[in-house]
């Protein structure tokens, strides 16, 4: 048996499981493994230093899978923004058919992608933003609950409320994201009105994730309390794993006169990359969600997705059905 939803039909995938775009992690090794396992793998455009490097990474991923995969393009405020239009052009010219967008003011990019027949998934952290993205032309909304890694927004609404609240108003298919890492999460997401799930942190703890094993074991060892919320003071909240770096960021930010420049050296993305690649847990930030508390092993992507789908099917077919009485 299999779980068929609007997401599997729209994206041409076997299972309603999507790997979110993650900086330094969304490379061909992981994306191809997720796609080969029947989900949707996603490359992260800005992990590649130039648009031409992205073209080569797309080619490399195509050599590793003949299944659908997508590319993430995240639009972030920056003093020196990357050449987003050139990355967008590389995505379009490479024949990518599915793009995950995130961040603010993506209209220009969404319009261009849509004009080339590309299916757009947009990540949102609130119902109002989801409705705005739908009006903008997004084909799929990935709704991120407060439990998620990365930027959960400023509303602090967890998935158990946010997913059905969005499902009540959004008309395009939705992916549930944040705090999901097993079959229970998939079954719950479907029950709450989503058509599939998007996972980030859980896919970091897989054999194929291109990060150091120390990081994977760190995620396995952590529990659901092992995150810090940083940047709250600056209204750009981020959820990261607890380590000496994020603890220090919290400490410095607590000062009444703290400014972002006081923590900037600690939170540089290049330092986070060092942590992921060398396994030095204190080299930089490690972005991870509360789902750490439900990560207990480091399987292959094939084993992980098969287990999630099988467990969700068993929950829907056996456990829940067994509670029904005439």
Compute the average pLDDT of residues 307-313.
Answer: 98
pLDDT tier, 105 (very low <50, low <70, confident <90, very high otherwise): confident
Residue 274 CB neighbour total at 10 angstroms: 16
Residue, of 77 and 229, whose pLDDT is higher: 229
Residue 173 included in any domain: yes
Mark whether 107 and 190 lie in a shared domain.
Answer: yes
Angle of helix 159-167 relative to helix 127-136, nearest 10 degrees, comes to 40
β-strand pairing of 41-44 with 17-19: unpaired
Give the CATH number for residue 73.
3.20.20.70
Range of 29's domain? 6-210+310-323
Assign 3-class secondary structure to 151-220.
CCCCCCCCHHHHHHHHHCCCCCCEEEECCCCCHHHHHHHHHHCCCEEEECHHHHCCCCCCCCHHHHHHHH
Q: Is 315 helix (H, G, I), strand (E, B) or coil?
A: helix
Instruction: Give one DSSP letter per residue of 51-119, joined into a string.
Output: HHHHHHHHHHHHTT-SS-EEEEEEE---SS---HHHHHHHHHHTT--EEEEEES--HHHHHHHHHTT-E
Residue 194 included in any domain: yes
Residue 191 included in any domain: yes
Mark whether 150 and 32 lie in a shared domain.
Answer: yes
Q: What is the pLDDT of residue 80?
A: 84
Q: What is the pLDDT of residue 272?
A: 96
Residue 232 included in any domain: yes
Mark whether 228 and 186 lie in a shared domain.
Answer: no
Mark whether 50 and 93 lie in a shared domain.
Answer: yes
Angle of helix 107-115 relative to helix 84-93, nearest 10 degrees, comes to 20
Mark whether 190 and 281 lie in a shared domain.
Answer: no
Closest CA to 263 of 253, 255, 274: 253
pLDDT, tens digit, 9 for 90 and up, residues 73-83: 999 877 789 99
pLDDT tier, 62 (very low <50, low <70, confident <90, very high otherwise): very high
Average the pLDDT over each of 51-55, 78-82, 85-89, 157-161 and give the range with the smallest value. 78-82
Mark whether 121 and 39 lie in a shared domain.
Answer: yes
Residue 142 included in any domain: yes
């Amino acid at each position: 048996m299999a779980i068929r939803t609007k997401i599997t039909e729209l994206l041409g995938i076997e299972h309603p499981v999507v790997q979110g775009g993650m900086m330094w992690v969304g490379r061909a090794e992981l994306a191809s493994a997720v796609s080969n396992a029947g989900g949707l793998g996603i490359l992260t455009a800005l992990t590649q230093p130039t648009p031409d490097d992205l073209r080569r990474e797309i080619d490399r991923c195509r050599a590793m899978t003949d299944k659908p995969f997508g590319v993430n393009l995240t639009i972030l405020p920056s003093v020196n923004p990357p050449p987003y239009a050139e990355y967008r052009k590389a995505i379009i010219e490479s024949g990518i058919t599915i793009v995950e967008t995130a961040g603010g003011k993506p209209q220009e990019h969404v319009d261009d992608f849509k004009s080339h027949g590309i299916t757009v998934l947009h990540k949102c952290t609130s119902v109002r933003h989801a409705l705005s993205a739908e009006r903008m032309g997004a084909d799929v909304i990935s709704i991120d609950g407060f439990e998620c890694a990365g930027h959960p927004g400023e509303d602090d609404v967890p998935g158990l409320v946010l997913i059905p609240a969005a499902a009540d108003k959004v008309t395009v298919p939705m992916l549930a994201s944040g705090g999901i890492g097993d079959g229970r999460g998939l079954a719950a997401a479907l029950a709450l009105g989503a058509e599939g799930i998007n996972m980030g942190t859980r896919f970091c703890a897989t054999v194929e994730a291109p990060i150091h094993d120390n990081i994977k074991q760190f995620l396995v060892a952590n529990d659901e309390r092992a995150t810090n919320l940083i940047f709250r003071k600056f209204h750009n909240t981020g959820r990261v794993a607890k380590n000496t770096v994020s603890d220090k960021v919290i400490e410095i930010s607590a000062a009444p006169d703290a400014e972002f420049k006081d923590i900037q050296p600690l939170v540089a993305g290049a330092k986070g990359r060092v942590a992921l690649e060398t396994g030095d847990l204190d080299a930089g930030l490690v972005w991870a969600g509360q789902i750490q508390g439900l990560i207990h092993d480091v399987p292959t992507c094939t084993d992980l997705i098969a287990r999630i789908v099988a467990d969700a099917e068993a929950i829907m077919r056996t456990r829940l059905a067994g509670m029904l009485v005439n």
